[in-house]
Amino acid sequence: MRGWAVVEAGAPLQNVELPLPELTGEEVLVEVTHCGVCHSDLHIWEGSYDMGSRGKMSLADRGVTLPLAMGHEVVGKVVKLGPEAKGVSPGDMRVVFPWLGCGKCDRCQAGNDNLCAVAARSIGVFQNGGYATHVIARSPRHLVAFDGIRPEVAATYACSGITVYSAIRKVMPMPADRPIVIVGAGGLGLNAIEILKALGHKRICVVDVAADKLETAKQAGATDTVLAESEDTAARIIGACGGPVEAIIDLVNGTSTARFSFDALVKGGKLIQVGLFGGELSIPLPIMPTKAITIQGSYVGNPQELREVVALAQEGKLSPLPVTTEPASEVNNVLNRLKDGKVRGRVVLTAA
């Protein structure tokens, strides 16, 4: 197969030939037709994560090897089945669940592949992904039908959709009229608004540094918006929400967003950290027990959550994320636009 691969951190992706392993067990070969370009791809492409005072975590530290075709928001056509694969047929169009683990541990067997602590094998991170012509799904259980949904929209549910859905589930149930704060009004933020509305939530406050993105969020259904342009962002959030907040989902998760999110929490509040912008959060330790605050990480989602998000979309409860398509050959331009903050919603690459 061929793919647009990272061959050197930070350098332009190159169109190269990549190995296509033989299928074993329940594996399924999928020909990629659509692949979303995600902000987390930038961290892989750039080669490191900002760990604050602990320095950088490199690709090698995380176990990533090059060359690598990134891309984990994949829709494609089934073309070949492994000897034990059942339940799909060549020609079927499916969303591919990408967040694979070892496949054998208790967590993977329980359907929480994304929480595998043995060996991460995520598509587009630890094995070649949707920037290539083909990907390998571990099992038909990791393929989701999406009848009635445009493929370029369905692709976004494999990361953007399940990431915010899983994070939202960690703060639910909550009264529908009680504010939930979403930090970040990009693709993830817009999907978060849609999913909250689909779940019946009425009060959604969105925070961002860009006024135009906040306007888009308001058009999508945010009831309150806060421009994070100064040191008083926590106070602005509290003001917009009518008091300290019970639930904040930080889709950026940088030093400044983590701090103002923490400072805006009410007693017993939860901060769910999702983004990979990087940095660190320094907190006064007595506040944690005296305010009974919870800080919890949320890493993508599991196969069942992908099925549930797709079902919400099929029921007509999710308005499509703003999506534009570009041929895969434009991947370097797309990554640079995303890096420069010039992408609204999601860009999805299409096969030539």
Task: Read off the pLDDT of residues 119-175 as tens digits, 9 standing for 90 and up.
Answer: 999 999 999 999 999 999 999 999 999 999 999 999 999 999 999 999 999 999 999
Other Cβ atoms closer than 10 A to 242: 12
247-304, pLDDT tens digit by residue? 999 999 999 999 999 999 999 999 999 999 999 999 999 999 999 999 999 999 999 9
Give the helix ranges, DSSP H, for the chain: 39-46, 59-62, 106-109, 151-156, 162-169, 187-198, 211-220, 233-241, 255-263, 287-290, 303-314, 331-339
Residue 341 has a pLDDT of 85
Q: Is the pLDDT of residue 352 over 70?
A: no
Query: What pLDDT score does 345 carry?
Result: 79
pLDDT of residue 128: 97
Query: What angle in degrees, to the nearest 10, is found between the helix axes of 303-314 and 162-169?
Result: 100
- Per DSSP bridges, beta strands 180-183 and 204-208 are parallel
> What is the reported pTM?
0.94
39-48, 71-80, 320-329, 334-343: which has the highest mean pLDDT? 71-80
Determine the residue type at 58: S
Contact 158, 72 (CB under 8 A): yes
Q: What proportion of the chain, given as a percentage, has pLDDT over 70?
A: 100
CA dihedral 77, 348, 135, 161 (to 10 degrees): -90
Q: Where are the alpha helices (DSSP H) in 242-298?
A: 255-263, 287-290
Which residue is it, tokens 């019970």? 246
**How does pLDDT run across 236-249, given as a tens digit for each residue?**
999 999 999 999 99
How far is it, in rounded angstroms, from Cα 214 to Cα 218?
Answer: 6
Q: Which of 182, 120, 126, 189 is CA-nearest to residue 160? A: 189
> pLDDT tens, 48-81?
889 999 999 888 888 899 999 999 999 999 999 9
Percentage of the residues of the chain whose pLDDT score is greater than 90: 91
Say whether 229 sits in a helix, a strand or coil.
Answer: coil
Q: What is the dihedral of CA 312, 151, 43, 121, to 10 degrees?
A: 80
Which amino acid appears at position 262 of this protein? F
Q: Alpha-carbon distance 252 to 85, whole Å?
A: 38
Q: What is the pLDDT of residue 42?
A: 93
